[in-house]
Amino acid sequence: FVCRYLTEASGKIEPEVACYITAPSIILENLVCRVINDMSSLVVEDSEELVSNVISIEYLDHDKDIPFPISIAIPFTARYRGNYRDITVKMTNMNFQSSYLTPISFDGYQGNQKVTFAEVKICQLGIFSVVSCLKKETFIIPKKGLSQKLSMDSRISFYYHPETFSSPVIMQSKVQPIEPSLVSFLKAKYDMYHSVVSTSPLVHIQHLSSEPFNKEVSVILPCPPNSEKRKPGDSREHGRTSSATVTSVATAYQLRVRTSTTNSSNLSESLKLLGYRNKEEEWIVHNEVIVRNVRNGLVSFEVDECLESFIVIRLSFAMDDTHLVLFIQALEEAIRSTLANVVLYRKKENPHKIVVLLVPSKELNRELQSLHEEGYFGPPEPTQQFQLREGEQIHFRFSGNIFASDDGKNFGKAYRLIFHSQRKPRLELQLKEVDEFGNYSSPHYKGTAVFYKMTKETIAKNWNQPLQPDDYQHMSPLCKLALTLPKHEKLINRPQSTKRISTDSSDALWDHLMYWLAEELSEDNASLLSLHLPIRRSTLQLVRLKCPDNPTHQIYELLCFWKKNLPRAADKQRLLSRFLHKSGRSDLSEELRFKWENKVYT
């Protein structure tokens, strides 16, 4: 029998399928499935990406045995797959020891939405999740040798000479591609890496044998050439080598190819091999290994020892070994991290309702567009980008005269978002002022959202004792966002004798003239005018908040704020005409003077 387990519904969100379990009906009656996404930080590793809910399956009837194996199917959404990554089901026990199961994928439906499921057969219960991880490729190296291209990237190949091993050995490989943007990011951040032109993929190798190499192993890797340094000699040489017919990986290594340091037009350019060995637990620059250009952006080298990880770096000029090691360490950190932003937007028609998201920077524009379609807008604008690892958390709290609640009842708590690059952590909160009579000199209430980054080490350390709002006092904030809330309009019923009645007809004329100017001024004109008007930045933010999609109303509100703060005896027409002239609209300056002097209602 098949049983469907649903997630709990939240607000207006319909419950979703947590998993399907196929087992005898008497077993299904005593199985409990829970969604425990709060534990996702402790489930995923740095090189993995969570693409499903984290679910826990327990059995309540301990007197009966489960007839394993049983089948479970978990829905998942993977936006980025590619040749280098695989989808796998991760099983974790209560001691957080994990194993991996290769799933069978099939498509199903949640309501009207098509969803992919990962199905596996399990022989024990525990915590299950679907993760995207680096693809592992396994092959056997026989005694007679092997010439092997990797299926995930056919440009990467290995040649094991006969008698490299005295008996067959199993080899496992993983490939981490390096985005050029990562190299550019590190070069822009650190001047000492300026000579790095490009890198090969980062290759991880494991030989399931302690036997040393009897002969050198030849490796071919892609490593893009320096596109900014094209010489006539390069093209002639490139044409000569690329016209040669290479029938196999083995014969490719037998070709005599020039090294990058022998080219007279690229004397300063070099290729460096860096390797990592578990016994030293550090990266080493292998200057004794000659790395050669082969053809079409491929490089080759030979090694006589097993390197658990290696990478080739192309340099435009010499870099010392210390800086090379620092570069690969920084590159590893950048690979494990993702640039992200915090977005805090509020509902257009209800500024007290906000949504807080943690978004990868590369998806920021698309996510902001989706929020606009839902009716959410700034200010505040998204935070500056920062680096986060998979499973790290952003905790945030509110300070000043504004606090928040996720249920409309309990205010003043701290909140958290767990970062997963292929999921969308999101919180919807209700804002409220702390003190109704606070910020008395301002037209709105003021507060700040303060964000803190929690590493996985900190999360694991405080797992049994969640942090309280006061615990953040000693931490350095990651970033802050300023918030405002419009004040409630207070209706005061005065006795008839105390009511103030305005007999100044100029107020009505000014109201007409300001609206006429708002219609005449473009957004660019208004931006220049706001620079000259003596108005605070917080007032500009409030105006944008009140009228996010109507530039005319924004300009009108801006002029109203300006006029309201002037003394009654001030010559408003002369002041505003001067500001219009400074902002490049002398024509409107003259027309305003004419309409004011002649009492022309527009």
Average pLDDT of the residues in 249-263: 37
CB of 313 closer than 8 Å to CB of 271: yes
Structure tokens at 106: 């099939």
Report which DSSP code applies to 341. E
What's residue 312's pLDDT?
97
* pLDDT single digits (tens) 497-511: 444 444 445 667 777
The CA-atom distances, in angstroms, between 192 and each of 7, 195, 326, 457 are 51, 8, 10, 30
Q: Over 439-491, what HEC string results?
A: CCCCCEEEEEEEEEEECHHHHHHCCCCCCCHHHHCCCCCCEEEEEEEECCCCC
Bridge partners (DSSP) listed for residue 99? 91
Least confident window among 22-36, 104-118, 301-315, 373-387: 104-118
What's residue 522's pLDDT?
81
* pLDDT single digits (tens) 204-239: 999 988 889 999 999 999 999 987 654 444 433 333
Q: How confident is the model at residue 1 (pLDDT cuts 50, 70, 90)?
A: low
What's residue 160's pLDDT?
96
CATH 2.60.40.2660 placement within the chain: 339-486
CB atoms within 10 A of CB 321: 13
* pLDDT single digits (tens) 330-352: 999 999 999 999 999 999 889 99
In angstroms, the first-to-last Cα distance of the chain is: 77
Q: How confident is the model at residue 473 (pLDDT cuts 50, 70, 90)?
A: confident
Q: Spell out the alpha helix ranges (H) of 29-179.
A: 40-43
Read off the amino acid at residue 124: Q
**Residue 574: pLDDT over 70:** yes
Q: CATH topology for 504-597?
A: Death Domain, Fas (1.10.533)
The owner of tokens 């952003």 is 394
* pLDDT single digits (tens) 519-562: 888 877 778 887 778 877 777 777 777 777 777 888 888 888 88
What's residue 165's pLDDT?
93
Cα–Cα dist 417/403, whole Å:
17
157, burial (CB in 10 Å: exposed 0-12, middle 13-18, buried 19+):
buried
Q: Spell out the alpha helix ranges (H) of 215-320.
A: 232-243, 249-254
CATH 2.60.220.30 placement within the chain: 137-319
**Residue 241: pLDDT over 50:** no
99, burial (CB in 10 Å: exposed 0-12, middle 13-18, buried 19+):
exposed
What's residue 51's pLDDT?
94
Average pLDDT of every residue of the chain: 83
The CA-atom distances, in angstroms, between 161 and each of 134, 164, 168, 300 are 28, 6, 13, 15
What's residue 447's pLDDT?
94
What's residue 598's pLDDT?
77
* pLDDT single digits (tens) 137-191: 999 999 999 999 999 999 999 999 999 999 999 999 999 999 998 999 899 989 9
What's residue 233's pLDDT?
44
Packed helices 523-532 and 551-564: angle between N→C axes, nearest 10 degrees = 20
Question: Angle at CA 522, nearest 5°, toward 519 and 527?
Answer: 120
**Residue 589: pLDDT over 60:** yes
| Cα dihedral 231/237/238/240 (nearest 10) | 150
* pLDDT single digits (tens) 32-52: 999 999 999 999 988 899 999
The owner of tokens 């959202």 is 449
Of residues 106, 4, 114, the one with CA closest to residue 55: 4
Q: CATH topology for 2-134?
A: Chondroitinase Ac; Chain A, domain 3 (2.60.220)
CB of 536 closer than 8 Å to CB of 511: no
CA 420 distance to own-chain centroid: 8
Cα–Cα dist 444/431, whole Å:
13
CATH code that applies to domain 137-319: 2.60.220.30
Task: Tell which wins on pLDDT, 178 or 594.
Answer: 178
Cα–Cα dist 427/404, whole Å:
11
What's residue 6's pLDDT?
65
Structure tokens at 505: 């007809």
- CATH architecture type of domain 339-486: Sandwich (2.60)
What's residue 250's pLDDT?
37
**Residue 464: pLDDT over 80:** no
Q: How confident is the model at residue 462 (pLDDT cuts 50, 70, 90)?
A: confident
